[in-house]
Amino acid sequence: MEGLGYSLLLLLILIGLSFLAVCLSFIREKKITAEQQAQKAQDEIYKFLTEQPVPPTTHQQQAWLAFGAPIFLQFNEPLKEVRPEVSLLSISQYRQFLKQRWCITDSESAQVIIEHLLTLQDAHQLDALLEHKQQEVQQYLAAFTADNDPTSLEEAKKTSSTYAWDTARAIAVTRWCFWCGYLTEETMWRYIKQAAQTAQTCGLGSWVDYSVSILLGQKLSEPKRLHRNLDSDLLRLLGSSVYSPRTADHLPPAREYEIAIWREFDFIYHAKAF
């Protein structure tokens, strides 16, 4: 019996070692794959920057991009430039995302989706829901304005449209399509300018109204979809010093510097002539 027990113990040890070897091999391969993906992302973005040199943005262009800032922060993207950074996802990953999330695969489909957003088609449908979902809306607003300095509940209640959910996404999708080669630089800026001007004429003319409009649009259209600390990002852009524990994440230094973009540019910004 002793010999049988020893043999069983030895067998269990061999099985354990074999399992450990498989696990280590899997971890090693996963690490190599992650490194390869990171290198691929860098190579694709370096290629983009080499083949498509984009000049630094002007102050007026940065003011237009400010309207896409909440979506840019969701993806940890630059707020003031249209050039991609090497720390971002690969161009291939952006193409895959546009295909799966937006059904965008080429220039034609890109323009169809962007123009859909620019004409506030989603916002018109969501605005019709606002009256019927007042209880949920009040809950969203109460949670967003609780204990934070720049936004009061009474001020938030003045927002009556989800227009900003469409304009902010239009700007983000436009820049992604430019990165993926679906839009020219000229067309990109035309769409971004149009989205910013639409936002300036649709709402109450303030970044608070814009923030609440985005928040309501997201909550009403995608209530079960997780957006990484969207409320926190909006409060930061507004200049709030209040963060709840659930949203106390830290931004990279570059983003911490850019986060003041809404305080740098008035909601309706006109570049000075020099």
Q: Could you tell me if 251 and 243 are in contact, meaning their C-beta atoms sit under 8 angstroms apart?
A: no
The pLDDT value given to residue 246: 39
The pLDDT value given to residue 253: 57
SS3 content of the chain, % helix, strand, coil (to 5): 70, 0, 30
Q: Looking at the structure, tell me whether residues 105 and 145 fall in a common domain.
A: yes
Q: Could you tell me if 146 and 192 are in contact, meaning their C-beta atoms sit under 8 angstroms apart?
A: no
- d(CA 68, CA 241) in angstroms, rounded, equals 22
Better-predicted residue by pLDDT, 274 or 116: 116
Q: Looking at the structure, tell me whether residues 6 and 142 fall in a common domain.
A: no
Q: Looking at the structure, tell me whether residues 132 and 241 fall in a common domain.
A: yes
> What digits encode the pLDDT tens for the residues 221-234?
986 665 667 888 89
- d(CA 140, CA 137) in angstroms, rounded, equals 5
Q: Looking at the structure, tell me whether residues 260 and 212 fall in a common domain.
A: yes
* Mean pLDDT, range 191-210, rounded to an integer: 95
The pLDDT value given to residue 145: 81
- Asked if pLDDT for residue 18 goes beyond 80, the answer is no
Is residue 119 domain-resident?
yes
Count of other CB atoms within 10 angstroms of residue 237: 24
- With bands split at pLDDT 50, 70 and 90, how would you rate the model's confidence at 243? very low
The pLDDT value given to residue 179: 95
pTM > 0.95: no
Q: Looking at the structure, tell me whether residues 9 and 125 fall in a common domain.
A: no
Q: Looking at the structure, tell me whether residues 185 and 250 fall in a common domain.
A: yes
Is residue 197 domain-resident?
yes
Question: Tokens in use for 57?
Answer: 């943005």
> What digits encode the pLDDT tens for the residues 114-172?
999 999 999 999 999 988 898 889 888 888 887 565 668 888 889 999 999 999 999 99
Q: What percent of the chain has pLDDT over 90?
A: 47
Q: Looking at the structure, tell me whether residues 151 and 97 fall in a common domain.
A: yes
Q: Looking at the structure, tell me whether residues 98 and 30 fall in a common domain.
A: no
Q: Could you tell me if 84 and 45 are in contact, meaning their C-beta atoms sit under 8 angstroms apart?
A: yes
- Asked if pLDDT for residue 262 goes beyond 90, the answer is yes
Is residue 271 domain-resident?
no
Is residue 74 domain-resident?
yes
Domain carrying residue 34: 1-51
- With bands split at pLDDT 50, 70 and 90, how would you rate the model's confidence at 248? very low
Q: How many structural domains compose the chain?
A: 2
The pLDDT value given to residue 57: 95
Count of other CB atoms within 10 angstroms of residue 90: 19
Q: Looking at the structure, tell me whether residues 129 and 35 fall in a common domain.
A: no
The pLDDT value given to residue 108: 98
> What digits encode the pLDDT tens for the residues 28-69?
655 556 566 667 667 777 677 777 788 899 999 999 999 999
The pLDDT value given to residue 82: 95
Q: Which residues of 213-236 are buried (b: 16+ CB within 10 A; e: fewer)?
A: bbbbbbbbbeeeeeeebbbbbbbb
Place of tokens 């814009």: 210
